[in-house]
Amino acid sequence: MLKKNKIVLIAIFSLLLFAFKAADDYFEISKQMEIFGSVYKTVNRDYVDDVKPGDLMKVGIDAMLASLDPYTNFYTESQAEDAMMMRSGEYGGLGSQSVKRGDYTYITNVYKGFAADKAALKIGDKLLEINGKSFIGKSSEEVGNALRGAPNTKVTLLVERNGEKKLLEIFREEIKVKNVTYFGLVNPEIGYIRLDHFTMGAGAEVKEALLSLKSKGISKVILDLRDNGGGLLHEAVNIVNVFIGGGELVVYSKGRSADASKNYKTLDPATDATIPLVVLVNNRSASASEIVCGAIQDFDRGVVIGENTFGKGLVQNVRPLVYRTQMKVTIAKYYIPSGRCIQELDYSNKSKDGKAQVMPDSLKKKFKTKNGREVLEGGGVQPDIEIKKEDKPEIVGLLEKSYLMFDYATKFASSKESIPSASQFVLTPQMFDEFVQFVKMQKDIQSSETEKQLEQLKVKLKAKPNIESIQSSITAIEKFLYDYKLQEIQKHQTSISQLLAEEIVRRYEYQEGGFIQSFKHDQYILKSLEIFNNSMQYQQILNKK
């Protein structure tokens, strides 16, 4: 009896402590809200210049949430609609992508079969007007808002193509951005699936792609998650379910609230539980991508090839707020089948300058895969086979930033109605020489770091007397640096030709053609073929008997 009374007293005492803490928390919240409100009112009433209350509050909210982590965000009503579109992958529009260069917007991608494609909008088109209104100098956001709209509504574009103006009438349609942006054959035995998003239906698209490839006779498959920043968690589970049977724990989350702590298991029989599998990742593969590749690794279901992934082991949920605003808030950490969390940065432990801390290797715990292989927590998913990132030659980056390869491909496509298929097309030495001449005519290669430093020096020298006496030397240095860039183009002809060939093929065979062209030189793909061609090595990596 005494023991029972003791337990009851402890329980009552615990409840009282909880009640006191809740009361303290409530008081502290009320107090801080009152302080914040008084500051907000005082600034609006007394600040020397007029302030916009909505903008001021948005800055305050953003600053508050930024002190937590980069993934907890507040959305205004208009931003909430855009965020919902990103999660669903659906919007009313044209089916194209664009980029702002200086005062102009250029079309950089046209999705095959959608409204823009049907109306013959082309990659490289320069946008001048939308519905009779000039959009020169407008921001990317303004252009995007003007192009999007209700399906079946008309938008009129005035574009410039090869120096000529063209008027295009396009009827917007419901655009469903595909999660699987391409799937096809690398060779008769090996299939390839490129997954770029984790919006609704991603798992079904991967399943459909695999079944289609199997109908063509493949016996091995590559799942490419490079540059995939993630998305819906349950779609990651559905994708794992394509390769792993039902009833298996893929990921579980732990948070402060009961609804944030959940287990996520596969539900259906696997589409194919035995086909040899390679998963490609890089340091921009994050979140849902890491759940997929981490689960595949933990189950020893396939070989992960590439770079350490990004290291985002946090779960976000979208909460509706007042006045149709929303908030995306981090509610939990997630853990993959071995029990490890791959989160790299600790946002609860920041340095004096506000930077989140990285867990040192010495503190990382070891976990084991299904077959007993050691894997580490934190720092993303470490690949089974690392592809060392090659430093991009500076000249290649300068050409890309200058859009010279992009512009040459546009010019090339305007003069040739057709080219060999994406798998057969090769950039000839003659084409490369034509590109070099094109670059010389443009005389507009992005400045190198050395050239930027020279410009800074010229600004400083303007204030010095007798600047004219060294002007000839400065001109000589400028010519030397420009000629050096031309020499670098020749030196890196192979890599530039590969990228240029991809850019040209995209003009004829869309995004799909670019993928096919890249198979010839992509180090990740070539390493995958090497592993697939050595079944013993494949089995050894997975520690299979």
Write b or e for each residue in 237-274: b if 16 or more Cβ atoms lie within 10 A of its Cβ, otherwise e.
bbbbbbbbeeebbbbbbebeeeebeeebebeeebbeee
Return the closest-CA partner of residue 196 out of 145, 253, 235: 235
Cα(126)–Cα(128) distance, integer angstroms: 6
Helix (H) / strand (E) element for 76: namely none
DSSP 8-state secondary structure symbol assigned to residue 228: -
Q: Clarify whether 287 is annotated catalytic.
A: yes
Assign 3-state DSSP to the chain and report helix, strand, coil percentages, each to 5.
45, 20, 35
Q: Clarify whether 207 is annotated catalytic.
A: no
Cα(105)–Cα(125) distance, integer angstroms: 9
* Residue that is written with structure tokens 């320069």 in the block: 126
Q: How many CA atoms lie within 13 A of 160 on its CB side?
A: 11
Are the CB atoms for 454 and 481 separated by under 8 Å?
yes
Sign of CA dihedral 343, 345, 350, 354: negative
* Residue that is written with structure tokens 């670059």 in the block: 439
Backbone region of residue 247 per phi and psi (left: phi > 0; alpha: psi in -120 to 50; beta: other values): left
SS (H, E, C) 267-312: CCCCCCCCCCEEEEECCCCCCHHHHHHHHHHHCCCCEEEECCCCCC
**Out of 253, 287, 289, 448, which one is annotated catalytic?**
287
Are the CB atoms for 314 and 330 separated by under 8 Å?
yes
Return the closest-CA partner of residue 153 out of 85, 84, 92: 92
DSSP 8-state secondary structure symbol assigned to residue 382: P
Q: What is the dihedral of CA 158, 159, 163, 166, to 10 degrees?
A: -50
**Out of 312, 328, 485, 527, which one is annotated catalytic?**
312
Q: Clarify whether 300 is annotated catalytic.
A: no
Are the CB atoms for 389 and 360 separated by under 8 Å?
no
**DSSP assignment of 529-541:** HHHHT-HHHHHHH
* Residue that is written with structure tokens 């060392």 in the block: 388
Beta bridge partners of 184: 192
Give first-to-last CA distance, the chain, whole Å. Answer: 59
**Out of 69, 196, 298, 407, which one is annotated catalytic?**
298
Residues identified as active-site: 287, 298, 312
